[in-house]
Structure 1
Amino acid sequence: MALAAHDAADRVEQLIILTERLTDLIAREAQAFESRRPQDAAAQVEETQRLANIYRHESARVRAEPNLVFGAPPDQRQKLVRATEAFDAVLARHGRAVMAAKTVTEGLVRAIADEVASQRQQSAGYGPGATTATNSAAAATAITLNRTA
């Protein structure tokens, strides 16, 4: 999907609106991750993806054809530059929040897997003289996580 602009000023105005809306959505997602409530970010995922695709497409068009925005008034183009700078800052914040959530999640999964492995008994042989040992280093354990939790 592309923007349907009448002229450069209209295109720049639509890009400003798009960038500001996308910035707001990504800032909310970052806040959800920072608040340790990633499930709150799920509500806007589809809209964020849709707008991000439009933004990516339009950014590529403007890079390929700069004259699409050069006819807009300088103050309006400057407003687009400021909106883009704010968007870049929010993207950096979002990246840090997602990386922190990823690190915490990986640590939790590792801790759970280690605990399950330490509690699982390993068979040391077959037959009537077989013994059991708890060797967590040798235990290969599979765990299943509920994605809706």
Structure 2
Amino acid sequence: MAIHAADAVERVQRLIELTERLTELVALEAQAFEQRRPQDAAAHLEETSQLANIYRHESARVRANPELVAGAPLAERTRLMRATEAFDAVLARQGRALEAARTITEGLVKAIAEEAASARVTGVGYAKGGAAAAPAKATSLTLNKRA
């Protein structure tokens, strides 16, 4: 999907609208993670994904051909730069929130695994010849990095 624009002015205006909406959505996601409510981040996931794809595509087009926006007035191009800076700041905020959520999740998984291991019954019964049986061997626990 691409932005359709008649000229550089319209293209810059559409890019500003796209960037501002994407900034708003990513800020909502970051806020959801900061409030420890990741389920709330899923509310706009489809729209965010679509807009991020368009943003990525259009950014690459403009980088490859700066003439697509060069004809727009300086004030509009400056507005686009400010919108992009705000988007970058929100992305950094979201990155910090996601890292914190990941750290918390990993800590919870580790605590649960340790608790499960400590609750395991060890050394029940007797071995051959009446000696106490060796403690049960630990079993592995597989964690998915995407958790």
TM-score (norm 2): 0.88
Q: For residues 1-16 of structure 1, what are the structure 2 equivalents within 5 Å?
A: 1-16=1-16
Which letter maps to 1:31?
Q
Q: Deviations over 1:88-135 (max 9, x none)?
A: 00000000000000000000000001100111124688658463637x
Distance 1:128 1:74, change over 3 A: farther
Check if 1:110 corresponds to 2:110: yes
Equivalent residue, structure 2, for 1:139: 138
Please give the alpha-carbon distance, in whole angstroms, between the structure 2 residues aligned to 1:114 and 1:128: 33
Deviations 1:13-35 (A, max 9, x none): 00000000000000000000000
Q: Deviations over 1:52-100 (max 9, x none)?
A: 0000000000000000000011101000000000000000000000000
**1:121–1:132 CA contact under 8 A, matched in 2:** no
| Contact residue 3 and residue 14 of structure 1 kept, 8 A | yes
Taking the aligned partners of 2:9 and 2:128, their CA distance within structure 1 comes to 83
Corresponding position: 1:85 with 2:97 = no
Match of 1:98 in 2: 98
- Within 5 Å, give how 1:12-91 maps onto structure 2: 12-91=12-91
- Name the CA distance, whole Å, in 2 between partners of 1:115 and 1:64: 55
Identical pairs, percent = 63
How has the CA–CA distance of structure 1 residues 16 and 118 changed in structure 2, closer, same or farther, with 3 Å as cutoff?
same
TM-score if structure 1 supplies the norm length? Answer: 0.87
Gaps of 5+ in 1: none
Which consecutive unaligned segments of at least 5 residues does structure 2 have?
none
The alignment yields a C-alpha RMSD, in angstroms, of: 2.3
Alpha carbons of structure 1 residues 63 and 132: separation in structure 2 relative to 1, 3 Å: same
